[in-house]
Amino acid sequence: MTALPKRQQNRIERERRILDAALQVFSERGYVGASMDDIAAGAGLTKPTLYQYFPSKDELFTAMLTQERDHMLADFEHPSASGMVAELYAFSWHYAETVLRPDMLSLARLIISEAHRAPDVGRAYQASGPDRLLAGMISYLNLQKQEGRLVFDDAELAAEDLWGLILSAPRNRALHIPDALPDRATIERYIRNGLGVFLRAYSTRPADDLLALAALKPPTEAQPEHT
């Protein structure tokens, strides 16, 4: 594989540093309290350089959420030979490992607290994060329906069911009680149960798919990407 030109490598590295710094600042101060000055300092760049990459705080906020969304949807957008059940299971774990990170939980809490006095912030968060994630899930489920693996009347409701079943209870608890982060055994329990319910409801071959689910093993614990 041909290596990228040094200039392009530097640009990708700077963008990654900016997005990492943005997540840290937004998760600590919320959207309203975050400043481009602080984000530039966190990325080790000058403010003019930061604006060369992201001309506004709105664009940077959207790009930051898009990065997290793309990580969660990777298993759906780049399917493997492992099949639907393994892809659903991998997605569920990537989703859990992302939204249960302390920085992502902190960001969600701050956005909720700002939504009343700054409703545009809540709308931007919803549009760039959850809504786009839901759209990716809908696209994947529709593809599985076309291939005869799933059956449903409303793809959006099926995606919402999947979303709610795999993690809503422990995530809601962690949002409200910061020291109530579930351990990996608890996450596995919810994911496996949620996918089991989903497959019983929507799979065209539930017995086979439940056997495939039972054969899967939890991933090894991921190293944190943000510090």
CA distance 54 to 37: 13
Cβ–Cβ < 8 Å for 103, 226: yes
- pLDDT bin (cut points 50, 70, 90) of residue 4 is low
Per-residue pLDDT at 110: 84
- pLDDT bin (cut points 50, 70, 90) of residue 47 is very high
- Tens of pLDDT, residue by residue over 179-217, are 888 999 999 999 999 999 999 999 999 999 999 999 999
| Nearest CA-CA partner of 182 in 106, 104, 107, 97 | 97
* Cβ-based burial of 126 (10 A; exposed 0-12, middle 13-18, buried ≥19): middle
Q: Which residue has the higher pLDDT, 5 or 201?
A: 201
Tell me, rounded to whole angstroms, the distance of Cα 74 from its chain centroid.
Answer: 10
- Tens of pLDDT, residue by residue over 84-126, are 999 999 999 999 998 898 988 888 888 888 878 878 888 888 8
Per-residue pLDDT at 66: 83
Amino acid at 124: A
Span 162-184, mean pLDDT?
90
> Highest mean pLDDT: which of 1-10, 120-129, 141-150, 170-179?
141-150
Domains in the chain (CATH in brackets) are 57-215 (1.10.357.10)
Mean pLDDT score across all residues of the chain: 88
* Cβ-based burial of 91 (10 A; exposed 0-12, middle 13-18, buried ≥19): buried
pTM reported for the whole predicted model = 0.82
The H or E element containing residue 226 is: none
> Which two structure tokens, joined as six digits, stand for 18?
């900016």
